[in-house]
Amino acid sequence: MKRKWMALFLALVMCVSLVACGDDTQGDDNEPQNQEEEQKPENGEGQDGEVEPYEPTYGEVEIDFWQHMDGEQFQILVDEYMDLHPNVKINLLSVSFWDYGNKIIPALAGGTAPDILLYDLATATERLAYGQTVDLTDHLAARGFDPSQFRTASMECCMLDDQIAGLPYLTDVRILYYNKDHFAEAGIEEPPATWDQVLEYTEKLTTYDENGNIERMGFHTGLGNLFPWTMIWTYGGQELDGETPVFNSQEGIDALQMAYDIQEASGGYDNYQLFYEGTQSSTMSPFVMGDVSMIVDTNEFAATIMRDNPELNWGAAILPTSDGENNHWTWSGGFDLEFTDHGDEDRLNAAIDFGLWLVSKEAQITYGTKSANLMCNTEAAEAVAAERTDLGDEYWAAVMESYDYGRYHDRCLAYPDFTNTISSAYTYVMDGTKTPKQALDDAAEIVTQEINNYHLMND
């Protein structure tokens, strides 16, 4: 008996020391770079803190690049770059979109992440804050890189105080799509500019058949890609103020109340569920099928419409706001290029050079044109818009205007999941369980509690 417990205890000691060793190895990943920077002033900071201009000094080098978006287009770009730079070999790994997180998170934690990776723009600063990715500030300064080529909001999203977490690559915006035939039928001339108009139009557009079953739904905030925070923004509300949730302000309550009123005008919660379930089984969007007159969705939805129902007579507009004049906002997501350091300066430099090439205007146009993506290089975005005229002027006008004022989630290192809390509040309002004030106040309480928990854990 005693010997067995000794053995177990020894095993425990052994394992704990393995854990400790594991950490040291992780730490080692970032040390050599600093040492090398001191020894080779021509590639880093000089004696007086000024950044010396950068010259590529690597010969044959091999870097890894992981991504989870359009593998075909990235392969084209990788091949092009390798032709231009025969000394650089890039191993492109395309991973399935839904599993990417499960692959990249352990890789980042375990120090085996690739030299350059594509990942979620909104959380880029998180990874920098936790030391998993490289701060690009000095590298970019040494290369004389001008960040103004990027969409402002995207670049800001990648910055943590003065540090640069990644190079913005690809983004999106949400716009309002509407069915022009339905509008003509109902005698509506222009797409709505205010949410009151949306409510009014919804009442006019929603139709039922003889049995009282819904035939056509005017609009619902839960179909498509609107999400409650976007609506709250368009009422002038905010998500967070520092670490305090403020989405339960009067603006937030008004926004959710309007969402509820729109639901009531378009057939109520049960009909909404009917349409919503269809989308969950990956059938065609009800807007594409002509069952819904207006829908808020991403700019990439246009390509879906063209593919699934080219006959549809659709139009696009910027999102409505509370009064049509102020609070022009839309929600943006996107992806950026981030870099990890494995102690090999050549690989890091080669990766950064490749990354900078990828975000240059021509490379971005090559990627974005195929699927009319919204690129973060503003000139490239405009070029794609000029190229893909098949999607229509009205569409591009709405997209490019939204491009200018699109915003990302407020940063919350303490509780990144707060957005799901807001979504839950929205669901409580829609199914009638809680009033908007109740739902948002409860959500705010939860967020506050979770942020407190974070501080209990980390202070």
Partner 1 sequence: MQKREAITGYLFASPWLIGLFVFTLYPLLSSLVYSFTNYSMGKDFDFIGWTNFKIMFTSDHGFFQSIWNSVWYTLVSTPLNLICGFGVGLLMNSKVKGIKVFRCIYYLPCVISVVATTMVWSWMFQTKYGLLNQLLAYIGVQGPAWLTDPAWSKTALVIMGLWNCGGGMMMYLAGLKGISSTYYEAAEIDGANAWWKFWKITLPMISPLLFYNLLTGFIGGIQVFTNAFLLTGAGTDNSTNFYVYNMYTMAMNNRRMGYACAMGWILLIVTMSLSLLIWRKVGSRVYYES
Partner 2 sequence: MRSRAKRKRVISKAFLYLILVLGAMIFLFPICWMLITALKTRAEVMTYPMQWLPEVLQWGNFARAITAFPILLYLRNTLFLVVFNLVGTVLSCTLVAYAFSRLRWPGRDVWFMVLLGTMMMPGVCTMIPSFIMYRNFGWIDTYLPLIVPSFTASAGNVFLIRQFFRTIPNELSESAKIDGASHLRIYSQIIMPLCSPVVVMVAVGTFMWTWNDFQGPLLYLNDNNLYTITYGLRTFQTQNSTDWSLLMAAALVISAPTIILFLSCQKYFIEGIVMSGLKG
Residues that bind partner 1 (CB under 8 A): 11-12, 15-16, 18-19, 22, 26-27, 30, 101-102, 105, 108-109, 126, 129-132, 273-274, 277-278, 280-282, 415-417, 420, 424, 427-428, 431, 433, 446, 449-450, 452-454, 456-458
User: Whose Cβ is closer to partner 2: residue 10's or residue 21's?
Assistant: 21
Mask for 7-46, x = binds partner 2 (CB under 8 A): -----------xx-xx--x---------------------
How far apart CA 222 and CA 426 sit, in angstroms, is: 9
DSSP for 383-425, please give it: HHHHH-GGG-HHHHHHHHHHHHHEE-PPP-SS-TTHHHHHHHH
Binders of partner 2 among residues 97 to 126 (CB under 8 A) are: 97-99, 102-103, 106-107, 109-112, 114
One residue of 286, 334, 355, 406 binding partner 2 per CB under 8 A? 286
When asked if residue 283 is in the footprint of partner 2 (CB under 8 A), the reply is yes
CB 444 within 8 A of CB 248: yes
**Minimum gap (Å) between residue 99 Cβ and partner 1:** 10
User: Whose Cβ is closer to partner 2: residue 280's or residue 458's?
Assistant: 280
When asked if residue 64 is in the footprint of partner 2 (CB under 8 A), the reply is yes
C-alpha 385: how far from chain center: 20
User: Whose Cβ is closer to partner 1: residue 255's or residue 447's?
Assistant: 447
- For 68, the token pair is 């989870």
C-alpha 191: how far from chain center: 27
User: Whose Cβ is closer to partner 1: residue 259's or residue 316's?
Assistant: 259
How far apart CA 29 and CA 45 sit, in angstroms, is: 19
User: Whose Cβ is closer to partner 1: residue 247's or residue 395's?
Assistant: 247
CB 202 within 8 A of CB 265: yes
Instruction: Give the residue carrying structure tokens 């129902």.
Output: 309
**Minimum gap (Å) between residue 153 Cβ and partner 1:** 23
**Minimum gap (Å) between residue 286 Cβ and partner 2:** 7
Query: 176 in helix, strand or coil?
Result: strand
**Which one of partner 1, partner 2, none interacts with residue 68, CB within 5 to 8 A by kind?**
partner 2
How far apart CA 351 and CA 76 sit, in angstroms, is: 17
How far apart CA 64 and CA 114 sit, in angstroms, is: 5
3-state secondary structure 143-206: CCCCHHHECHHHHHHCEECCEECCEEEEECCEEEEEEHHHHHHHCCCCCCCEHHHHHHHHHHHC
Query: Could you list the residues that contact partner 2 (CB under 8 A)?
Result: 1, 4, 18-19, 21-22, 25, 64, 68, 71-72, 93-99, 102-103, 106-107, 109-112, 114, 278, 281-284, 286, 289, 304, 308
